[in-house]
Amino acid sequence: MSTQELASTNKVQEVSTSMKGQYTLWQILGIWFAAGAPLWIVAWVVHPILSQGLSPLESGLLWMKLDLAALVWQFVLSMLIVYREEGDIRIASISRRFWLNNPISPRTGQKDNRLWWLLIPLILLVAALELGLAPFINGIWTTLFPFLAETPSRDLGVLFTPEMQTRWVGAWGFFALFVITSLFNNFLSEEFVFRGVLLPKMNGVFGKWDWVANGFIFGVYHLMMPWGIPGNILFGWLMAFTAKRYRTNWFPIVLHNGQAFYFGFLILGLVLGLA
């Protein structure tokens, strides 16, 4: 058998293997609901009750802590699913199941480290989306449905107003809270659930459009912040497409962390008193 025939056979076997154990539509929706429901309850029930009488600053910090608790649950959920399906939660099993590997060329079906360079234009595309297209689309969305506008009690912008700058000097606890929340939000929770647990097993229901469905349910999952659903759908499509095309979830993980790195350096500057 020639090298080309062997590579083709291996690719067919890989596709056949990946089709095994595909989720049903109800399983997909069940995992989506299990991941999102605690966060929705925290956002629309728990936080409004506990934040009564709090200052905007206290309300914002409370939201960050409650948000983190819900995100930790998503990580636990993803680990429970891996354990149920793989029989263990070893690093090797998680990496294989969640596509935590070097990018794979869609042309050859082989790992190609040169594809890492694609992150440069992709990061620029994410920046254009978050700074331009997403705010524009979200603005139209909230104009059409004003009852979905941002809730003032969860506006984290109040934490970074000029008069608050001195408040954060030496506040390493706040910096640690941000770092841990970002770690879960952009990696161990949302990416593990949507691109790790769900995306590899959505092909059986949605076929080649599994990445479209994945990005859509990712956007709608943001019911805790409905003012940003359209922008999050676009962002979800981009992340799911790169993960599916190059069979690696390191691409969406890096893209998802772009905003966190920006705010992380901003907060670090505030804590160090450099702002």
pLDDT of residue 275: 62
- Residues 109-139 have pLDDT tens digits of 999 999 999 999 999 999 999 989 999 999 9
pLDDT of residue 169: 85
In angstroms, the CA 73 to CA 40 distance is 13
Q: What is the CB-side half-sphere exposure of residue 266 using CA atoms within 13 A?
A: 13
pTM above 0.85, yes or no: yes
Burial class (CB in 10 A: 0-12, 13-18, 19+), 47: buried
pLDDT above 70 for 8 = no
Point out the least confidently predicted range of 13-17, 97-101, 149-153, 221-225: 13-17
- Residues 15-39 have pLDDT tens digits of 433 446 899 999 999 999 999 999 9
* Distances, alpha carbon 175 to alpha carbons 22, 106, 206, in Å: 40, 40, 41
In angstroms, the CA 238 to CA 202 distance is 16
Task: Using alpha carbons, select from 125, 156, 126 the residue that is nearest to residue 61.
Answer: 156
Q: Which residue has the higher pLDDT, 151 or 231?
A: 231
pLDDT of residue 167: 80
Residue 106 in contact with residue 118, Cβ under 8 Å? no
Residue 238 CA from chain centroid, whole number: 11
Highest-confidence range of 58-62, 149-153, 271-275, by mean pLDDT? 58-62
Residue holding tokens 């049903």? 24
